[in-house]
Structure 1
Amino acid sequence: MNLPVTLHQARLGPVGFTVVRPARPLERAVLLDRDRYLDACLDQEAAERIGALWLLAARSPRALVHLPIRGNGVVGEDGARPLDLVLLHHSLQFAPSRWKELRGRLGPGRPRTLSLPQPPEPAAVDHAARHHRENRDLFHQHLHAETLFLTGSAKLFRETAHHFPDLARRGPGRAPAGSGHPHVCAELHSNDGVLGNAREMHFAYCPDWEWAGPAERRGRTGGPATGPPPAAGGPDQPRQSGARPLSASARSKAPAPAGAVSAGP
């Protein structure tokens, strides 16, 4: 698969960093901080592209993969906050506290198209090994400057990337647009053996997006249906509505996050 990105480079003191960002905005993707867990809403294209960026994180241990998506949402009535997402390899040892400074130093970057393999099928993953006591191959999370940092190994990013093309494949058939939002989702769950110092992450397929600005939405519900991770009963359960995406006009008035992109496989 081919992935158009923008590559950015900047220095913090003597150390240089590469930041990789999607060439086109991920307009229909929202990541919300719901305190107990992290909740994402994606349409088909966003799921496919995030899956490719997830694989890029596996192949680019010296780069930060930045998904600037917090401008797509607003704070919900339940206090859920929209976040950006940065995927990075643990060996980079980047301090999230320096992200705001690095982000502010990123220029326009240079375009590049990367070629990526398909993610491995779930059947090819040794799920039992993840639950061994000696397993240290885990995701860790840090929150800083309205950005979630997800740190892991190349193996872990590669083996979990299948969730996104699977969601893009299953979603349209199970939850066609205008169908009342039957729930289709994927998760990084505490029982999966992939989370260390990290909260659960819930990714919902959302085919219908309400393009209304914040002022028009006051006192209204609607938009992508997202909510708590599924209970033991199964993944296909109704969700509560959460923060909505911003309209194109509202997004154009918001300050663009300073960000960047870079690093080949």
Structure 2
Amino acid sequence: MELRLREFRPRTGPHEHRVVQPGQPLRHTSLRDQAPFGMLMGDHDGLSRLAGLFSFAAYSRHTVVHIPLRESVPPDEGYGELVDLVVAHQEAGLRPSKWPGLRRSLGRGTPLTVRTDEARTERHARAWRERPYNRGLLRHTTHARTYFLIGGRDVLASAATAFSYAAGWGPRHKGVAKGQSAFMAGLQYELEPTRGGGHPHEVLICFKPYPPYAHFKRPGH
């Protein structure tokens, strides 16, 4: 997949950081933070680009991927606060508490085009799923109206394939042509257990075309 991004090189003291954002907003994609079930809802374009962005984060160990979602068109269903999404490899050393200051210093950025390798992503995702122990999980937290997912290559690749599946099969789901959302996948086993026990956290991944729904046609129709 080819991704068009904007690249930023903000500095905090002597340190330079690399941050990328989608070149164009994911206008019809949103993320609601309502523990223990977050809900990410998007159309084909948004879910496809999220698959690519997670794949890019998996192999860009020193890059922070910032996906602004709060300004997207609000969905007409779901509960919880609308939040942005930040995805990063664990080696990027990102601390969520430092993110607001880093975000304020982004500036204008420069255009960047990258390509992702879907076959490689699927290979590493499969390796993560087949690894029974010590396979590495995503750290997750919400800070400053931003949901953070931070982890290693293989678990980020697994998350990328979940978005790819939702983007590919969501349009085929019955009812979506009438504006109904369809639950397609979820991030649960990829996430670290909730501290103190309780219900495990999960991010539900749902497909929903954007209105007016007359424009939407299921594949094969």
TM-score w.r.t. the length of structure 1 is: 0.70
Stretches of structure 2 that go unaligned for 5 or more consecutive residues are 195-200, 214-221
Cα deviation 1:88-137 (Å, max 9, x = unaligned)? 1112222111111111111111101101101316994353424x2xx151
Q: Identity of aligned pairs, percent?
A: 28
Instruction: Report what 2:148 is aligned to.
Output: 149
- 2:100 is paired with a residue whose SS is helix
Going from structure 1 to structure 2, the CA distance change for 1:102 and 1:197 (only over 3 Å counts) comes to: farther
**1:1-265 counterparts in 2 under 5 A?**
1-72=1-72, 80-118=80-118, 119-120=121-122, 124-125=126-127, 127-130=129-132, 132=133, 135=134, 137-175=136-174, 177-179=176-178, 181=180, 183-189=182-188, 192=189, 194-197=190-193, 199-209=201-211
Q: Which has the higher contact order (CA 8 A, sep 6+)?
A: 1
Query: For residue 192 of structure 2, what is the amino acid of its counterpart?
Result: G
**Distance between the aligned counterparts of 1:174 and 1:86, measured in 2?**
28
CA deviations on 1:201-230 (whole Å, 9 max, x unpaired) are 11100114479xxxxxxxxxxxxxxxxxxx
Once the two structures are overlaid, the 10-residue window that deviates more, 5-14 or 201-210, is: 201-210
Question: Based on CA coordinates, which of the two structures has the bigger radius of gyration?
Answer: 1
Alignment-mate amino acid for residue 202 of structure 2: E
Tell me, in whole angstroms, the C-alpha distance in 2 between the residues paired with 1:182 and 1:21.
26
Q: Deviations over 1:120-168 (max 9, x none)?
A: 16994353424x2xx1510011211110110010121123311112111
Q: Which amino acid aligns with 2:185?
A: A
Specify which structure has the higher proportion of helix.
2
Under a length normalisation based on structure 2, what TM-score does the superposition of the two structures give?
A: 0.83
Q: Give the drift of 1:76.
A: 8.6
Q: What is the rounded CA distance, in whole Å, between the counterparts of 1:178 and 1:17 in structure 2?
A: 43
Structure 2 CA distance for aligned equivalents of residues 104 and 87 of structure 1:
17
8 Å contact kept, 2:41–2:207: yes
Describe the shift of the 1:182–1:111 C-alpha distance in structure 2 as closer, same or farther (beyond 3 A): closer
CA distance in 2, matches of 1:96, 1:85: 11
